[in-house]
Amino acid sequence: MRIIAGQSGSVPLLVPRSLTRPTTDRVREALFAALGDLVPGARVLDLFAGSGSLGIESLSRGASSADFVESDSDACRIIGKNLVKTRLSPGKVFHRDVMTFLTTLHPESYDLIFADPPYGRDESSRDRIARLLRAHSLAQALAPDGIFLLETLASEPFPENHLWNENESRIYGTTRISFLKPLR
């Protein structure tokens, strides 16, 4: 895994041993091509950050800041090492449960929010994604022109919810990226 483009393009990233499914280079490349000019200057939140690849890719492409939220302590250390390795800042790592972290957010804090929760075909994965989509604080933390990007299993239907509108979704192999806007 590596940074695709920008200031730290092609720098390899460390991946935590506990991380079983990082967002692939191919998916990140397509995702950031779709985001284009929305990344420079953006305030970014990377939830379930893992290696930090989505937030770090954002910083490499000119985002003004990135906050990384990860509950695994090994992954938090790896994110810190990746930030040092890529010489990117400002990045701030939060060793917290995502749902607990969401209760601390301020309105309109982020322009881009990435969420790559652990997912699969089991009930706990569907429940985790549904809880995330019900979090009012997450919808409020997104700036008016911001985008929430949710990575899920392509074969699973998008969960019904009352907070988010799926403006677009893109399928990359077994991965779906949903481009979401809050229903305001």
Q: What are the phi and psi torsion angles at 143 (to 5°)? A: -60, 155
Containing structural domain, residue 59: 27-182
Query: In this structure, how many other beta carbons lie within 10 angstroms of the beta carbon of residue 7?
Result: 13
78 falls within a domain: yes
**How many CA atoms does the CB half-sphere of 110 hold within 13 Å?**
28
Q: pLDDT over 70 for what percent of the chain? A: 94
* Average pLDDT value for residue range 36-59: 96
Question: Do residues 115 and 135 lie in contact, with contact meaning Cβ atoms separated by under 8 Å?
Answer: no
Residue closest to 53 by CA, chosen among 93, 111, 13: 13
Mean predicted lDDT score pLDDT of the chain: 90
* Average pLDDT value for residue range 154-180: 90
Structural domains counted in the chain: 1
Would the pTM of this model clear 0.75, i.e. be above it?
A: yes
- In this predicted structure, the answer to whether residue 164 has a pLDDT above a threshold of 80 is yes
* Average pLDDT value for residue range 89-109: 93
Residues 33, 160, 155, 47: is their CA dihedral positive or negative? positive
Q: Which two tokens stand for residue 158?
A: 């998008």
* Average pLDDT value for residue range 98-117: 94
162 falls within a domain: yes
168 falls within a domain: yes
- In this predicted structure, the answer to whether residue 123 has a pLDDT above a threshold of 70 is no
Query: In this structure, how many other beta carbons lie within 10 angstroms of the beta carbon of residue 47?
Result: 24
99 falls within a domain: yes
9 falls within a domain: no
63 falls within a domain: yes
Kindly provide the b/e burial profile for residues 77-90, where b requires at least 16 CB atoms within 10 angstroms of the residue's own CB: ebbeebbebbebee
CATH code for the domain of 168:
3.40.50.150
